[in-house]
A and B are shown apart, each in its own frame.
Chain A
Amino acid sequence: MNLDSLTQNNGEWLRGNGPEADIVISSRIRLARNLSSYPFSNRGSAHQKAEIETSLRDRLTRLDFMPRLEYLMLPGLSSIDRQLLVERQLISRELANTEGPRGVAVCPQETVSIMINEEDHLRLQVMRSGFALDEAWQDIDRLDDQIEQRVNYAFSEEFGYLTACPTNVGTGMRSSVMLHLPALVLTKQIEKVFRALQKINLAVRGLYGEGSRASGDFYQISNQVTLGKSETTILTEIREVIPQIISYERQARSTLTRESRQALHDRVRRAYGTLKNAMMMTSEETMDLLSSVRLGVNLGLIEDVSIPTVNELFIHTQPAHLQKLMGAALDGEERNAARARYLSSRLRENGPHLN
């Protein structure tokens, strides 16, 4: 796989279509799996890890799963390439930053990724644009069955799929839906939503998962419990709560347009103007401003830029993507200048008509 080509498209999760795509960015399911006759990654010797990597890589590339998976060995990649895969949500920060034999199998559409030698021997992931948990589950369930024909999973009848961390044991499944909730943030109701979700044992994380802050008003809602509930039950619990959050966000959007339309319009246009004209732009500020612009486009306050373009800018302005696009390694200051230039040129491609 030519990693440079990744920057030329949006990948699955920022494709910008799919059900409820103005609010639901993507649906994602991951399964944690381990081989039954090896120690977990953190306890495996270098030799054992190499053995696991070789044998799993071999089996994964021979899967008759369509589309075909391509395998990338992490130690052979530059740190920018590893970071690029993190930014595209194909690998975790942990896989990017640890040492030793490890890799990822990816399909060209970027809907499937399988990490080898992360915290667990195997981390399967399926991603879908928009609100599509059921489709994601069907895909990953089938993929899991195919792998299991060739690999002996660590499984016990009592505890289910055995994982390195007891927080994942059982189904080994983490299913999450990524939402764009700018109006709930603006109307300061987001905390209320969090508290309600925590009561029903769902976790809320930022764009890049554990420990990351919710930049760009993106939030991932996911299950915490993996033991004692079936996959179907867990998926139903999430599937039932998402429409409620979507309707809160819609209510907040209509309140904003009704009660403070001018202030909202001003905010959106300022964001758009700053993105077009600034000379230096950090990635944090970019995320915040693009979030306002995305809201403005969805509410019809800006008409000369499309949602797929805004989505693309979210990912293209991330540090590794930006450096790939510029074709050079850049330090922080250089990146901020390059980011501002890139945003300005991309947004000026569109006409000057503001609604």
Chain B
Amino acid sequence: MKCQSCEEPATVHVTNIVNGHKRESHLCKSCAEKQQFLKHQELNLSAILQTVIGQHIGPMTDELSRLTCPSCGIKYMEFKAGGRLGCPNDYRVFQSALEPLLEKIHRSRRHVGKVPPHATKNAARQAELMDFRNQLRQAVETEAYEEAARLRDLIRQKETADEPG
């Protein structure tokens, strides 16, 4: 089937029902975009999530919008724009902002269910490892290679000690 507006193959098929009258349109992708048919279909989960997050950022203070995670460097505003967090530590750093959001998504703020038998014991050491990795990243960025090498060895040592079994 060809596009109604040009000669390209029609890939977008829209059926509109207005006052009980059915109207079908068959268009190619670019004509559909021009006529704004495609926009509606691109409502994806992250777009919806951003709206939800947006509703919560409204009354929030400047302080929160400037909040940055010391481990991965993501700003709360970046999370708001992208819908994805930067690292596990963000759940602590952004906790006060995340809780109302979690309430909205899940109608709950607390985990119920499976607990991994090993992970909890190591939580402190894992946070430490993350910090070392962060320092390593900064050392590489500032070309402090000796420091980077020291950190790399330290991380390896800690990781081996951590490895269960």
**Chain A residues in the interface with B (C-beta under 8 A):** 34, 36-40, 42-43, 45, 48, 119, 141, 144-145, 148-150, 152-167, 169-171, 210-211, 225-233, 332
Q: Which residues of A contact B105 (CB under 8 A)?
A: 166-167, 225, 227
Tell me the nearest residue of chain A to B9, going by C-beta. Answer: A332
Beta-carbon contact of B85 and A166 below 8 Å: yes
User: For residue A170, which residues in chain B have a CB less than 8 angstroms away from its CB?
Assistant: 106, 108, 111-113
Are A42 and B82 in contact, with the CB atoms below 8 A?
yes
How far apart sit A227 and B105, CA to CA, in the bound complex (Å)?
9
Could you say which residues of chain B place their CB within 8 Å of the CB of A232?
113
The complex places the Cα of A230 from the Cα of B130 at a distance, in Å, of: 29
* A36 and B49 form a contact (CB under 8 A): no
Provide 17 A-B residue pairs closer than 8 Å at the C-beta atoms, listed in order of the A residue.
A36-B126, A36-B129, A150-B165, A152-B119, A152-B162, A155-B115, A155-B123, A156-B92, A156-B111, A157-B115, A159-B102, A160-B111, A164-B85, A227-B102, A227-B105, A227-B106, A229-B113
CB contacts (< 8 Å) of A150 on chain B: these are 163-165
| Interface residue SS majority, chain A | loop
Most-contacted residue by chain A among B44, B86, B110, B112 (CB, 10 A): B112
Chain B residues near A167 (CB-CB < 8 A): 45, 49, 105
Residues in A whose Cβ lies below 8 Å from that of B84: 40, 42-43, 119, 164-165
CB-CB < 8 A to B2: which residues of A?
Answer: none
Given contacts A42-B82, A45-B137, are A166 and B101 in contact (CB under 8 A)? yes
Q: Is the CB of B87 within 8 A of A230?
A: no
Q: Is there contact, CB below 8 Å, between A153 and B119?
A: yes
Q: Which residue of B lies closest to A225 (CB)?
A: B106
Question: Which residues of chain A come closer than 8 Å to B116, judged between CB atoms?
Answer: 144-145, 148, 153, 155, 161
**Set of chain B residues within 8 Å of A145, measured between Cβ atoms:** 116-117
A152 near B122 (CB under 8 angstroms)? yes
- Most chain A beta-carbon neighbours within 10 Å: one of B9, B119, B120: B119
Q: Which of A39, A155, A166, A210 contacts B87 (CB 8 A)?
A: A39
A171-B113, A228-B107, A231-B113 known; A36 vs B119 contact (CB < 8 Å): yes
Distance, CA A43 to CA B86, complexed state (A): 5
Chain A residues closer than 8 Å to B45, beta-carbon distance: 167, 210
Chain B residues contacting A40 (CB-CB under 8 Å) are 72, 84-88
CB within 8 Å for A230 and B112 given contacts A43-B87, A211-B44: yes
Q: Are B108 and A165 in contact (CB under 8 A)?
A: no
Query: Nearest-CB distance from B53 to chain A (Å)?
Result: 9
- Structural contact, B106 and A230, CB atoms closer than 8 A: no
CB distance from B113 to the nearest CB of A (A): 4
